[in-house]
Amino acid sequence: MAHHVFVRPATALDARAIGPIHAHTMSAALAAALESDLTEDVQQLFVPDAFARQWEQAITDPPSDRHAVLSAVDEGTVVGFAALSPTRPEPLDAAASAVEAEGDGQTAVVEITALEVPTENGREGHGSRLLAAATDLAREQGATAVQMWVLAGDGAHTSFLNGAGFAPTGLRRTIEVGNDHASQHCWYALLPEEAKE
């Protein structure tokens, strides 16, 4: 019997699965970045139901038609998700100039704001399928590059993006996590033009 795995646009019902996935993966990534367990105050921020409500809002009432949420599905169960948002290239170097918007005023860079697969569903191709679907959608929107911010110390995402052909831009930013601070690095990949027939 065939194993049915695929990626599709997320539905409101998917938020029930996406919320717990994101709450768990994000708290684990932050703990890795801080190299310590999260304090109780910070742990209380990662409430699966609250995350689910936020993702239901993002799915049913996105800020624009260029925002999107995708679900990875395995035999009818949501096992991962990705989210995309238009953004602007940072003016940093040749990489940024290569992805500047041209003429029509549309954003030439799409940011992958989340790409999460729980550890128990890892190494099954779900992340790769989500990334492929996300980059296809970005290209359809006219993007010439995609970018993603990754927490320093998040070896899983770093290794995945590196293997997928992404490279660090050199940009960093700091986020507050309770009384601590964590560093994020920006990764990007240029999108090749589709071959014309």
Q: Give φ, ψ of 89 to 5 degrees.
A: -65, 140
Measured between alpha carbons, how far is 153 from 174 in angstroms, rounded to an integer?
A: 13
CA dist 124 → 77, 120, 130, 142 (Å): 14, 10, 12, 30
Per-residue pLDDT for the chain (197 aa), expressed as one digit of tens each? 557 899 999 999 999 999 999 999 999 999 988 888 888 888 889 999 999 999 999 999 999 999 999 999 999 999 999 999 998 765 544 444 444 444 444 448 999 999 999 988 878 899 999 999 999 999 999 999 999 999 998 999 999 999 999 999 999 999 988 888 899 999 999 998 764 44
Residues with Cβ within 8 Å of 55's Cβ and at least 6 positions away in sequence, in order, are: 10, 14, 15, 18, 19, 22, 69, 81
Amino acid at 95: A
